[in-house]
């Protein structure tokens, strides 16, 4: 059963105005939903379900590619760089909240163009070098277009966050048309993922406003995790040889 669509986390006035603009209401529909929030939400759900459908399919395409790579590495290499994979499509609440928060126009094509993390996959690897290997293997496939790369491993965020973010565009072939769907892929080590998960939980607990002392502690812990990754990478290179390719030098 689909989860109920609410307006949690969105200011009421701009939300209602945004939803009415999003569904492109005509005169008949305007009269039908006037003062009926439940009917408005039903119409929004119906419209967004169709909009989100290609992201479900695009994510399946990406997941299939990841599974094929993982299966190949299981057979052909002594070490499979892929440890775990998680996928998700943004909930309607989460999507609506981001649309209003970022000021995205209430137009579905504009939303598809601007909001590129509606569908997302997170790949966890053992070593930093593995993150770049997996990124290269995915981005170099002929039916995938690399739209954007953000390397927060080489360029760590002030918070201490480290991860490799790719926006990969994959074609989804429907019965009457082809839609190029952007999917965000985050690739990180186990240490990076542990830190990011803990930081996310703390941010949720403190409603995004972490105390200064806790922020400083998290930065310190992130540095410790990065040191662990670095040391493990050195040990690995001593055993297996030079680092694996990055997106830039592959």
The full DSSP string for 11-29 is -HHHHHHHHHHHTT--HHH
Asked if residues 222 and 160 have their Cβ atoms less than 8 Å apart, the reply is yes
Which of the residues are catalytic?
184
HEC string of 111-154 equals HHHHCCCCEEEEEEECCHHHHHHHHHHHHCCCCCEEEEEEECCC
Asked if residues 181 and 58 have their Cβ atoms less than 8 Å apart, the reply is yes
For residue 170 the two structure tokens come to: 């994959």
Give the Å distances, CA to CA, from 163 to 56, 58, 154: 23, 22, 9
**Separation between Cα atoms, residue 47 and residue 31, nearest integer Å:** 18
């Amino acid at each position: 059963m689909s989860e109920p669509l609410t307006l949690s986390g969105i200011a009421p006035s701009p939300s209602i105005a945004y939803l009415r603009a999003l569904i492109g209401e005509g005169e008949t529909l305007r009269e039908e939903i006037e003062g009926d929030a439940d009917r408005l939400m039903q119409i929004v759900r119906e419209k967004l379900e169709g909009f989100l459908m290609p992201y479900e399919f695009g994510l399946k395409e990406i997941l299939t590619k990841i599974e094929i790579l993982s299966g190949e590495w299981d057979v052909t290499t002594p070490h499979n760089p892929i440890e775990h994979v998680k996928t998700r499509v943004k909930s309607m609440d989460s999507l609506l909240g981001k649309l209003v928060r970022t000021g995205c126009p209430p137009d579905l094509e504009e939303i598809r163009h601007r909001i590129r993390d509606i569908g997302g996959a997170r790949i966890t690897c053992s070593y930093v070098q593995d993150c770049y290997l997996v990124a290269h293997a995915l981005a170099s496939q002929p039916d995938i277009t690399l739209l954007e790369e953000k390397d927060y491993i080489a360029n760590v965020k002030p918070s201490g966050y480290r991860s490799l973010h790719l926006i990969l565009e994959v074609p989804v072939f429907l019965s009457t048309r082809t839609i190029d769907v952007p999917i965000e892929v985050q690739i990180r080590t186990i240490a990076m993922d542990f830190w990011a998960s803990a930081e996310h939980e703390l941010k949720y607990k403190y409603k995004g406003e972490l105390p200064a002392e806790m922020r400083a502690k998290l930065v310190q812990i992130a540095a410790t995790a990065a040191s662990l990754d670095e040391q493990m990478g050195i040990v690995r290179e001593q055993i297996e040889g030079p680092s694996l390719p990055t997106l830039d030098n592959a």
